[in-house]
Each structure stands twice: as structure tokens, then as C-alpha cells.
Amino acid sequence: MNNIQISNILRIQEASKQDKLVIFVGAGVSTNSGVPMWSKLIESLKDDLPESLKRETDDLKIAQLYKDSRGYKEYIEKIKETLMYGRISPNAIHYAILDLNPCHIITTNYDDLIEQAVTQKYQQYYVVKKDSDLPYLQYQNTIIKMHGDYETDNIVLTENDYYNYPNNFPLIRSFVQSLFASKLILFVGFSFNDMNLKIILNDVSNILKENMQRVYFFNSSLKIRQA
């Protein structure tokens, strides 16, 4: 382990002690519980589209076409089936994340694996699934489901969902942006080609600019990188 890696680890440990560590959880963490990645979900949706629509290559448009052509009920049932809703359990990474004592956990995942792990470890995090949850915070620490949740019926997946995100999740969006200005952000379970990651960082950097804190990435090679 080189000096940069040691320095990064020490920064994260210090942020944890000061209650300034925020962990951003991506799809890669759920994959270790058996949940298919984003590409598998999109492929599954595309396979069920009419032949006339299968030439589409944009992931968000594919999800939109499926929802528009098959209807919402079939759309949400397909997502739940593909992503193994109700049939998965937390893995070691979920527990390791909680052991770091983050003040907030933000996730783009729809599943409840983090919530399951929190319950099993008898920790207290208030789960925010929609904007109207924020005014009723019961605990200092939160789990922010920034792309919605199955139970709340507000998942973000289609082209329209992403375009309308600032209008549908204005409070959650603002809260997450504020954390980038004041906390140390550690991304876990994201690849550098992850569409969600690109959208989030672009959105935040356009607003905060030079006030945005440096963020850290924990990758599959067990290295922590700065960005």
C-alpha cells in the first residue's frame, strides 16, 4: 500500500470520527447479494420490446419505451422480478459500510438491503424515500433513497424520470448537494462508467463548482481513489 492510499484511508477514518463521512452506495454493492447489474435490467426490458423498438440503444429510452408500451403495472413487476425484489439479503459489504459509521448513506439502489443490515445491527438511521420524509427526520443519521423505493412507488429509471428529477425530488436533490459541500463523500459500488455516477457528479459540480469537496472511490481492486 503506497503513501497515497494510506493518506486516503486516514482521511476517511478521520471523517468518520468527526461525523462527516457520507457513503454513496451503488449497484455494485447489491450485486454481491445476487442482484443483476443495470445492464442486465435494461437488456431484460429490451428483450420484451416489439421488434420495431429493439433498435433503440439508449438505456433510459429503452426503459421509457417498455413502460409506455407495456403499462406501469407490468413495468414495475418486471423490474422487481429482474432485480430479485424480496428474495435477497445483505452481504458483507453492507455490514462493512455500517462499521464505518457514516453520518449519512445515500443510494441509487431501489432495494432495502441497507435497511435490512441496519436492523440486524440495531443501528438507527431514518430512511428518506421521498421529499415529504425529510421534514420528519427522527434520527440524526439518514439513509437517502435518492432514486426512490419500491414501496413508495417512485423509482427513477426511465428517460422522463431523469428529466423530471429536479421537479420530483427537489428537497432530496438539494440535501444531497449540500452534503457534497460539507462532508467527505466515499463512493462504493460504482464504476467510473456508471451513468448514475456521471449524472450525480455533473449535477453537483455545475452548482457547487470550486466549493465541491473532493470525493473518494472504493473500487473492486480494494483501492481508494480521489476525484
Domains and their CATH numbers in the chain? 3-34+90-226 (3.40.50), 38-82 (no CATH)
Per-residue pLDDT of the chain (227 residues; tens, 9 = 90+): 567 777 888 889 999 999 999 999 999 999 999 999 989 999 999 999 998 888 899 999 999 999 999 999 999 999 999 999 999 999 999 999 999 999 999 999 999 999 999 999 999 999 999 999 999 988 899 999 999 999 999 999 999 999 999 999 999 999 998 898 889 999 999 887 777 888 888 888 887 777 777 889 886 544 455 55
CA angle 31, 29, 167 (to 5 degrees): 105
Phi, psi of 224 (to 5 degrees): -110, 125
pTM: 0.91
pLDDT at 221: 45
Q: How far is CA 140 from the centre of its chain?
A: 20
pLDDT at 222: 42
Q: Which three cell numbers stand for residue 74?
A: 407490468
